[in-house]
Amino acid sequence: MNTLINQVQLIGNLGKDVELKTLENGKAMARVSLATKDVYKNQKGEKIVDVQWHNLVGWGKTAENMQVFLKKGKRVAVNGKLRQRSYEDASGVKKSVTEIWVNNFMLLS
């Protein structure tokens, strides 16, 4: 049987403090941004620093723990799954966003 797994592991630094919301159904949801950095040399031998920003989302108890422990600038390891969603902004323009739904995390600093 061929099983495909949607799993993401990232290590990076938090770009802001966690934003925690309680939804109408009573479930907690947390959002925070995570920066990862890749350093390499291009064909000319020049050092390139590539920073990527990732949108993290936590649910339930994970969201509550994110709010307690994750603070801007902290280094963290995250395990989760990749999710993509679409929405319309205030101007009616359709947008698409990719998020990491956090299963668990570990503080590294």
Please state the rounded mean pLDDT for residues 82-96: 94
**Greatest pairwise CA separation for the chain in angstroms:** 55
Assign 3 a pLDDT band (cuts: 50, 70, 90). Answer: low
Q: Which H or E run includes 20?
A: strand 19-22
Domains of the chain from N-terminus onward: 8-84 (2.40.50.140)
Residue count (the chain): 109
Which pLDDT does position 85 carry in this prediction?
A: 94
